[in-house]
Each structure stands twice: as structure tokens, then as C-alpha cells.
Homo-oligomer: A and B are copies of this chain.
Amino acid sequence: MTDVRPPCAVRWLDGSGCVHRKRGASARVPGCLDIIDQARLPDELVRLHLSAPREIHDAIRRLSVRGAPAIGCAAALGLAACAQRFGVSDATDYLVKLRATADYLDSARPTAVNLHWALARCLAKVVPASIPEMDARLLDEALDILDEDIRMCDAIGGHGLGLLRTGMGVLTHCNAGALATGGCGTALAPIYAAHAAGYDIKVFSNETRPLLQGARLTAWELSECGIDVTTICDSMAAQVMREGRIHIVIVGADRVAANGDTANKIGTYPLAISAKYHGVPFYVAMPYSTIDRSLPDGAGIPIEQRPDCEIAHCRGARVYNPAFDVTPRALITGYITERGVLDHV
């Protein structure tokens, strides 16, 4: 299967089964949140149609939908789907149920900033009115969140395209692609843009231990679009650079401090060190909102420690399992955002 359009991780299915990714869907017949079950990729491609609070909560919790922007979009659309089924006739009852449902969905992943942000934004939009009107407002707001995300990804792709030339080898880490957003991704957006423009691009995807998002998700979504992608172990990136096959590194970001220091999936930092050693440009692609001006530098970014069982093979040995590392600003060539490619943030 080859298709130039990247897979849609998150979309809206209206009551008559039509797909929507923009404001304007009818809320008269209840619709549902439609996501790719990423926990089952790449073995099988299954789309889930969700409209019950418990189903949506579980899908977020067990990583059927993942990636900060994708989680935000899914939560907003999921809340709209739930509200359409409240079965109440009183506006006050509706608002009480809405708040309770939003709180419940928000608890699915306590540290996911976009989850909280998207739900709060939807809640703020709903003022007492008729039930159909509240349903419609909620859905429009959720579809606005999705559409803004799609446009943000496209803008990152357009700006990042200027850094690519046909024949280039691009290295990426983890999954900052279509599966992580409502659109075509952040780090992968310039690659999709280059592919659409007919460039011959060869992508190397780090498998990304311990959870293998690169091997499972990035390799899947790029190959589904007919993009040439090669999976390597994280420890092989330096060798591939040495062979002269990498011309640019593009990664995503979880948080960027005011000075440009960047927290991203563990393994990003050694990649940046190797890129510097080999003279390969190293870019971070992210929404401008990823910049956290309250943090002067990367030292203040807390590093989440994850469970031993993701790595352990031997009972006697300890395990150290940080989920992120911080790449210092000095190793970063630039930042690809929806506002353009920036030398500094």
C-alpha cells in the first residue's frame, strides 16, 4: 500500500459515518471519536470508534492514542462524543455531567499537559444553552483543536521542507509523526512535505528503546506512505553517520527551555552529540507552544523515571530508566516551528 497522505491517528466520525477533520460536522445524530489503535501497530491496523467515557479513558491510558497533540485532539473529540449521549434534557444536568466526564478523561494520563489543556478549552466554550446548541459548540471546539493541530503540522512541514534536498538521508528518533498528532506530525512533517514534493528522501528511524516507538510506529507510518525508511538500533546511528548516509537529524521535543535546551525521548542527546561529532545538522521540530519560558534552561526540566520492567532481563541487576534526556542548546542547529525555522527560541 502506498499513499502520499499520512495515516490519520485521530478523526471524527459523524452519525452518518462521514469523516470530519474540520468544524462544521452535524451534532444532531451522535457521532464518535475514531482513532488508530497504536498499541496494536504494526501487527494490525485497527480503528477504534469510541463514544463512552470508560472506552476513551482506557484508550488514552493504555496508549492506543499517544503523542501530546494527538491525545489533546482525542480527548476533545471524545468529550464531544460522550456529551452527545448524556441523555439529559436539562442544561444544568448536562453541564454537571460534562464537568465530571472531563475530569474523568483528564485522569487517564496525569502528566499529559495537552490532555488537560484541550479538555479545559472545550469546557470553557460551553455556556448554558439548549442541549443541541451545547453539543454543537462542544464538537466545533473539538474540531477546531484538531484543525489547528493539522495546520500547525502542515506549517512545520512547509518550513522544514526548505532544509531538505532530494537524495538526502534523514535520521529521526522515536515517533513525532502523524501518529503523535492530529496532522502529519512534527519531526516527520518535513519528510511528508518532501515526499509530496517528489523528493527522494531516505529516512533512518532509530528503533527507540525501551518502548520501540521508532521501530513500531515511525517505520510503519512512513512505509505506509511509500517513503523509504530503514530501522536501526539506537546504537547504530553513529555508524550510519560515519558512513556519510545522514545529512540531517530531525527530532521532536517534549519541552524546550527558554535558552533552547530541549527535553525529548531518551536517546536524543547522544544523537545530538554524534551529529556534532560528524558535522551533521541537528534540528528540533515542535509547535512553538512547546517552549516553556518559565524554565531558564534544561536543568529545571524534571526527568520522568519509568518502570524497571521495560528494560530488566536479570533479577539481580538494578535498572535505570529515564524517559527523557536534555539536549543542550549548543548541540542544536535550529528549531522547526509553525512560525518558521528559528536559530534560537
Q: Within 8 Å CB of A215, what residues of B? A: 311-314, 317
CB <8 Å contact, B317 and A223: yes
Give, as a whole number of angstroms, the nearest-CB distance from A307 to chain B.
Answer: 13
A-B contact pairs, 9 of them (CB 8 A): A42-B313, A209-B235, A215-B313, A229-B318, A230-B318, A232-B319, A233-B321, A239-B325, A270-B273
Interface mask (A214-235 → B, CB under 8 Å = 1, otherwise 0): 0110011011100011111111
Question: Chain A interface mostly helix, strand, loop or mixed?
Answer: mixed
Taking the complex as formed, is A117 at the interface, i.e. its CB lies under 8 A from any CB of chain B?
no
Task: Assess A322 versus B236: contact at CB under 8 Å? Given A209-B209, A231-B314, A314-B215.
Answer: yes
CB <8 Å contact, B316 and A231: no
CB <8 Å contact, A311 and B242: no
CB <8 Å contact, A207 and B239: no
- Could you tell me the distance between the alpha carbons of A141 and B313 in the complex, rounded to whole angstroms? 37
CB <8 Å contact, B240 and A269: no
User: Which residues of chain A (256-311) have a CB below 8 Å from chain B?
Assistant: 266-267, 269-270, 273-274, 276-277, 303, 311
- Could you tell me the distance between the alpha carbons of A146 and B215 in the complex, rounded to whole angstroms? 42
CB <8 Å contact, A273 and B266: no
Taking the complex as formed, is A204 at the interface, i.e. its CB lies under 8 A from any CB of chain B?
yes
Q: Within 8 Å CB of A219, what residues of B? A: 313-314, 316-317
Interface mask (A230-252 → B, CB under 8 Å = 1, otherwise 0): 11111111111010000000000
- Scoring A207, A236, A315 by chain B CB atoms within 10 A of each residue's CB, the highest score goes to A236
Q: What 12 additional pairs, Cβ within 8 angstroms, besides A215-B314, A232-B319, A242-B326?
A: A42-B313, A209-B234, A212-B313, A216-B313, A229-B318, A231-B311, A232-B311, A232-B320, A242-B325, A270-B270, A273-B273, A276-B277
Closest to A268 in B: B235
Q: Within 8 Å CB of A84, what residues of B? A: none
Taking the complex as formed, is A210 at the interface, i.e. its CB lies under 8 A from any CB of chain B?
yes
CB <8 Å contact, B269 and A313: no
Interface mask (A1-43 → B, CB under 8 Å = 1, otherwise 0): 0000000000000000000000000000000000000000010
Task: Assess A266 versus B235: contact at CB under 8 Å? Given A204-B320, A277-B273, A318-B228.
Answer: yes
- In this complex, the interface size class of chain A, counting residues with CB under 8 Å from chain B, is 35 or more
Taking the complex as formed, is A51 at the interface, i.e. its CB lies under 8 A from any CB of chain B?
no
Interface mask (A163-207 → B, CB under 8 Å = 1, otherwise 0): 000000000000000000000000000000000000000001111
Closest 10 CB pairs of A and B: A223-B316, A235-B267, A219-B317, A238-B270, A215-B313, A42-B314, A219-B314, A209-B233, A234-B235, A230-B318
- Could you tell me the distance between the alpha carbons of A270 and B235 in the complex, rounded to whole angstroms? 7
Task: Assess A230 versus B315: contact at CB under 8 Å? Given A274-B273, A325-B238.
Answer: no
